[in-house]
Amino acid sequence: MGLQTMTVKEFADFVGVKKSTVYKWKCLKKMPDNLYRKVGNRKLVFLKNEVDIWLTNGAELVTKK
């Protein structure tokens, strides 16, 4: 069985935020590094299993309005 990944858009939709918020969280180190991998020069992919574990363990997704 292969590693399941999500695009930035899929991750953003999954947690209910905009793509720009995901990039901001990455830049500000608001997410653990094990949630995503960099593919090539710019593309990010999120590891579905790690995202599930992070959310199950009580990750708080806080956005400012």
Unique residue bearing structure tokens 């399941």: 4
What sections of the chain are H helices per DSSP?
A: 8-15, 19-27, 48-56
Looking at residue 44, its pLDDT comes to 92
CA nearest to 45, candidates 2, 4, 3, 8: 8
On whether the CB atoms of residues 62 and 26 are closer than 8 A, the answer is no
pLDDT in tens, the chain (65 residues): 578 999 999 999 999 999 999 999 999 888 888 899 998 888 999 999 999 998 898 876 555 55
Domain layout of the chain by residue ranges: 5-56
Looking at residue 29, its pLDDT comes to 84
Q: Helices 48-56 and 8-15: crossing angle, nearest 10°? A: 20
Looking at residue 60, its pLDDT comes to 64
Instruction: Give the C-alpha separation, 26 to 40, whole Å.
Output: 17
- What's the whole-model pTM score? 0.81
Looking at residue 50, its pLDDT comes to 93
